[in-house]
């Protein structure tokens, strides 16, 4: 099972659509392995967006992600990163397909309501940032898993 990190960003929280967003990943078939409501600290934000340090938009990213509580979730499943990214839609909401989260709920790239890891390696790094040692993540099975995953 591959895992991926999903963040409901401040605009998703402020608009009251966080559980609509999370439910789309569950309906896709991904299994929830961890969930946290948290206020992102300056240090956590700078670590998360570390690859953008020095870019003109870095300070705006940090300011934005720390402006409101967020929800951090870990979902797992077959090709979870790709499945989640397809469910989210393109980063630029006006180019995202209808029926995707960003296509349905976003208009601007800086307010696209959700973040998802872009690779299994990024997922591992990001899950470490938001869930530490992973002791709050759960390995569990659902009765429906054998109808979703071929190897369950």
Domain range summary for the chain, segments of one domain joined by +: 2-37+70-138
The candidate with the shortest Cα–Cα distance to 115, out of 69, 67, 58, 70, is: 70
CATH of 2-37+70-138, one of 3.10.20.30, 3.40.50.1970, 3.10.310.10, 3.30.70.141: 3.30.70.141
Tokens of 4: 């991926």
pLDDT of residue 151: 80
Q: How many CB atoms lie within 10 A of CB 14?
A: 14
pLDDT of residue 142: 95
Q: Give the model confidence (pLDDT) of 14-43 as tens digits.
A: 999 999 999 999 999 999 999 999 999 999
The answer to whether 94 touches 107, Cβ cutoff 8 Å, is yes
0.85 exceeded by the pTM? yes
Give the mean pLDDT of 113-120: 98
Is residue 105 scored above 80 in pLDDT?
yes
Q: Give the model confidence (pLDDT) of 58-95 as tens digits.
A: 999 999 999 999 999 999 999 999 999 999 999 999 99
Q: Which alpha helices (H) appear in 1-152, and where do they start and end?
A: 10-14, 18-28, 42-48, 58-65, 80-88, 101-105, 120-131, 145-148
The answer to whether 10 touches 64, Cβ cutoff 8 Å, is yes
Establish whether 48 is a catalytic residue.
no
Scan for tokens 């989210």, then name that residue. 88
What is the residue-averaged pLDDT of the chain? Answer: 96
Instruction: Name the active-site residue from 115, 123, 126, 131.
Output: 115
Q: How far is CA 4 from CA 1, 16, 42, 107, 108, in A?
A: 10, 23, 23, 24, 24
pLDDT of residue 152: 63
Give the mean pLDDT of 88-113: 96
How many angstroms separate the CA atoms of 131 and 73, rounded? Answer: 9
Report the share of the chain in percent with pLDDT over 70: 99
């Amino acid at each position: 099972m591959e895992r991926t990190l999903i963040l409901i960003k401040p605009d998703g929280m402020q608009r009251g659509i966080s559980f609509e967003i999370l439910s789309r990943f569950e309906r896709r078939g991904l299994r929830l392995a961890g969930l946290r409501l948290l206020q992102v600290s300056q240090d956590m934000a700078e670590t998360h967006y570390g690859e953008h340090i020095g870019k003109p938009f870095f300070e705006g990213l940090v300011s934005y992600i720390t402006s409101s509580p967020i929800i951090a979730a870990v979902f797992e499943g077959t090709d979870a990163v790709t499945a989640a990214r397809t469910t989210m839609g393109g980063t630029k909401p006006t180019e995202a397909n209808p029926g995707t989260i960003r296509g349905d709920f976003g208009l601007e790239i800086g307010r696209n309501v959700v973040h998802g890891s872009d690779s299994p390696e990024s997922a591992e790094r990001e899950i470490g940032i938001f869930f530490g040692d992973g002791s709050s993540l759960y390995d569990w099975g659902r009765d429906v898993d054998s109808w979703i995953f071929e190897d369950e």
